[in-house]
């Protein structure tokens, strides 16, 4: 029996290592999901919340660990309710108050919570640490608070309606609970059916060790993402400092090429992102052209996506070069295709944020009318998933 258990554990571990790379970054939302959010409607938020929970493998692994040894319906309701209250509180509070944490970092902590629940299931505190385990109900509630921060961080990357912000958040959270209930029901059916088997003790031992492996693997994946968020191999960090530019032009964009030229930049552009709003700013570059840039905000950090769209493409494809949440960024790029290249910024705060962007290189500004005529024929076919200020 011991040999059989070891073989089963080895096979389960190999399977885990084979499939985990596909969902190491489980919280990522597709561009299709982002577009649904942009189009609005609370039913959309419910749907996105439900599908997001069902694809959130770290959350599901944690829930699986919670219910593993629970046999009474009352206990299941008690512990799942504690987890639900925990993540609901921080999801609503953090999103409503625009509290953000790096999503790779918070997801790494969530991955460790999966390890924790499995370690507790295995009696690790008594067996390996010779101490009594912490109160499980209190720990599940506390870990639920952390899971809620992860959900909030992801939700805040998307456009939210300031006038219906609370309802948007509640609708998304309702979707999360619907997805959780659906996943929980399936887990309970499978565990209950298997619990009657004489193999269940062996299965429970293997399953919880696999949960530890899964949590550890997800932790390493998220920490890898956290360390390489800025894609340092693709960017050369500039040491030039940007200075605020004071002038006024339409669309929240201002420019002062004379001031920029004095500092060695071709253009200096000021862009205002409204509270809870988002904007894009694009430049046109031919294949092989170079772009150097530096931008910073007047204080608040913004979610941003530095990306490009090939000229003439009608599929909506775009390539992201750098994506993060910060109050500044700098670097250089040599383009691999003709097309528009620039930034999407999302302001999750309750106040407008002004960006000062400085750039130099072989590009054409799309917000200057004399350049628009030259690139209009290749720019129009493109479609993006972001509201643009081109």
Task: Set out the domains of the chain in order of their start, with CATH numbers.
Answer: 2-229 (no CATH), 234-379 (2.60.120.680)
- pLDDT for 90: 94
Contact 323, 259 (CB under 8 A): no
- pLDDT for 165: 83
Q: How far apart are CA 65 and CA 134, in angstroms?
A: 16
- pLDDT for 63: 92
- pLDDT for 32: 57
**Region for residue 334 given its phi and psi (left: phi exceeds 0; alpha: psi -120 to 50; beta: otherwise):** beta
Q: How far apart are CA 378 and CA 363, in angstroms?
A: 14
Helix axes 31-39, 42-54, angle to 10 degrees: 160
Residues 165-206 pLDDT 10s: 888 889 989 999 999 999 999 998 888 888 888 888 888 899
Low pLDDT (below 50) residues in the chain: 2-29, 230-253, 369-385, 387-390
Helix axes 165-195, 57-67, angle to 10 degrees: 50
CA 94 to chain centre: 15
- pLDDT for 208: 93
Residue 134 makes CB contacts below 8 A (sequence gap 6+) with: 125
Residues 39-65 pLDDT 10s: 656 788 888 888 888 888 888 999 999
- pLDDT for 256: 59
Give me the residue label for tokens 């944690």.
Answer: 62
- pLDDT for 166: 86
Q: Around Cβ 112, how many Cβ atoms within 10 Å?
A: 17
């Amino acid at each position: 029996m011991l040999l059989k258990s070891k073989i089963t554990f080895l096979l389960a571990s190999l399977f885990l290592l084979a499939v985990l790379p596909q969902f190491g970054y489980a919280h990522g939302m597709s561009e299709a999901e982002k577009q649904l959010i942009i189009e609005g409607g609370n039913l959309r938020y419910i749907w996105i919340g439900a599908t997001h929970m069902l694809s959130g493998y770290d959350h599901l692994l944690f829930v699986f660990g919670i219910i593993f040894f629970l046999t009474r319906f009352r206990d299941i309701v008690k512990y799942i309710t504690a987890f639900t209250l925990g993540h609901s509180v921080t999801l609503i509070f953090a999103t409503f108050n625009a509290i953000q944490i790096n999503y790779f970092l918070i997801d790494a902590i969530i991955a460790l919570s999966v390890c924790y629940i499995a370690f507790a299931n295995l009696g690790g505190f008594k067996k390996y640490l010779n101490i009594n385990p912490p109160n499980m109900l209190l720990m599940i509630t506390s870990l639920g608070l952390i899971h809620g921060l992860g959900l909030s961080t992801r939700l805040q990357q998307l456009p939210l309606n300031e006038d219906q912000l609370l309802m948007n958040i509640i609708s998304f959270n309702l979707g999360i609970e619907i997805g959780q209930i659906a996943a929980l029901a399936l887990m309970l059916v499978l565990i209950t059916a298997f619990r009657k088997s004489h193999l269940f003790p062996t299965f429970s031992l293997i399953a919880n060790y696999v949960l530890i492996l899964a949590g550890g693997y997800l932790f390493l994946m998220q920490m890898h993402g956290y360390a390489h968020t800025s894609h340092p191999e693709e960017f050369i960090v500039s040491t030039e400092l940007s200075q605020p530019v004071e002038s006024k032009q339409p669309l929240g964009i201002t420019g002062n090429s004379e001031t920029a030229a004095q500092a060695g930049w071709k253009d200096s552009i000021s862009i205002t992102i409204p509270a809870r709003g988002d904007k894009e700013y694009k430049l046109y570059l031919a294949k092989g052209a170079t772009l150097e840039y530096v931008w910073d905000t007047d204080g608040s950090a913004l979610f941003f996506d530095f990306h490009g769209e090939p000229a003439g493409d009608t599929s909506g494809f775009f390539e992201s070069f750098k994506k993060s949440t910060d109050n500044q960024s700098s670097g250089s790029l040599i383009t691999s295709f003709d097309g528009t290249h620039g930034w999407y910024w999302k302001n999750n705060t309750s106040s407008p944020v002004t960006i000062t962007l400085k750039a130099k290189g072989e590009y054409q500004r799309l917000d200057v009318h004399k350049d628009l005529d030259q690139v209009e024929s290749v720019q129009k076919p493109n479609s993006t998933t972001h509201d643009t200020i081109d």
